[in-house]
Amino acid sequence: MKTKKYKNINRERDPEEEEAAETEGTDDEIIVLRDPLELFGLDIMLNILSNLDARSGVLSLLVCHAWNGVACSDRLWSSKCEELWLGKAHMPRLLQVWGLLRLAAYSLSIVDGKRSRIMRDDLCDHVWEFHFNEAAPEYWRRLDPYWNGAGSLMRCYFHPDGSQTADHGDQVWGSHD
């Protein structure tokens, strides 16, 4: 186990000076520094790291090889991913790849969230639900089940070939007679 001993003024103590202090019985405080991972163990260290914000969690990856092994744990990043994804309307298909580390998923989510353009997959991965607002012309509102008392939303499906379809019986986007 590696330990370093420092005087309370944060400078490394000379071994002879340390011996002299012990034999003389001086009241100099000796601070022993140890790696928290060695001191507390894996489970407690994971609990400590789970209380950090994501940025600090990423910085803890850089401390040393042992910390990196703990700080990139799926156990740690799963909760951070859930927190980040809470209330999101769109989750890129890439994040649903089986076996993707949660740290990688978190990082990809941050990058994806900074995009300023919608991609074809973004359109095609979802069922799009909507209704016309009150400002829409009366003709369109009469076709909208939301305004006819049904309360349901219309659904639209976009396809990779550029086409779109709707639920059967949809008078706005579906087939018209």
DSSP annotation of 63:
S
Q: Which one, of 152, 131, 151, lies nearest residue 141 by Cα?
A: 131
Helix axis angle for 42-50 and 74-85, nearest 10°, is 20
Which residue reads 């071994």 in tokens?
A: 15
Query: 10 Å Cβ neighbour count for 148?
Result: 11
Element (H, E) at 122: helix 120-124
* Largest Cα–Cα separation, the chain: 103
pTM of the model: 0.60
Question: What are the sequence ranges of the domains in the chain?
Answer: 120-166
d(CA 127, CA 117): 19
Tens-place pLDDT, residues 40-70: 888 999 999 999 999 999 999 999 999 999 9
Tens-place pLDDT, residues 123-153: 888 888 989 999 999 999 998 999 988 878 9
Contact 166, 157 (CB under 8 A): yes
DSSP annotation of 12:
B
